[in-house]
Amino acid sequence: SQTIHQWPATLVQPVGSPLSLECTVEGTSNPNLYWYRQAAGRGLQLLFYSVGIGQISSEVPQNLSASRPQDRQFILSSKKLLLSDSGFYLCAWNDRGESAFGSGTRLTVV
């Protein structure tokens, strides 16, 4: 079965610092991978998705970027964090009705 590993679980970063959140998936090849963000008390917003190595689609223009250096690895980054980047970030896998989520990263920008 598919498993998604996401780390770290929590992160407190100062404004202007860089960010790197990593997600890896096991149990499948060539997965479609997604990054979602959930602001406090809000719904899930799709940030990026990737259908393959080096292929990234951005849904919302913002201060973040994503990369897919390997088939089962999906990275969310920022060069300089803003206060508004605070939130709960979830990595996800989906394929023809099957889906799985990482355990999430709670990011607080101070």
Partner 1 sequence: AQKVTQAQTEISVVEKEDVTLDCVYETRDTTYYLFWYKQPPSGELVFLIRRNSFDEQNEISGRYSWNFQKSTSSFNFTITASQVVDSAVYFCALTTNNAGNMLTFGGGTRLMVKP
Site residues, partner 1 (CB under 8 A): 32, 34, 36, 42-44, 46, 49, 51, 57, 88, 90, 92, 94-101, 103-104, 106
With a CB cutoff of 8 Å and minimum separation 6, the contacts of 108 are 10, 11, 12, 13, 86
Q: Tokens 């969310």, residue?
A: 76
Residue number with CB closer to partner 1 (63 or 99): 99
Residue number with CB closer to partner 1 (34 or 74): 34
Distances (CA, A) of 72 to 1, 60, 81: 14, 23, 25
To the nearest whole angstrom, how small is the minimum distance from the Cβ of residue 60 to partner 1?
12
Of the candidates 46, 36, 29, 21, the one whose C-alpha atom is nearest the C-alpha of residue 101 is 36
8-state DSSP, 62: S
To the nearest whole angstrom, how small is the minimum distance from the Cβ of residue 41 to partner 1?
8
To the nearest whole angstrom, how small is the minimum distance from the Cβ of residue 96 to partner 1?
6
Residue number with CB closer to partner 1 (42 or 80): 42
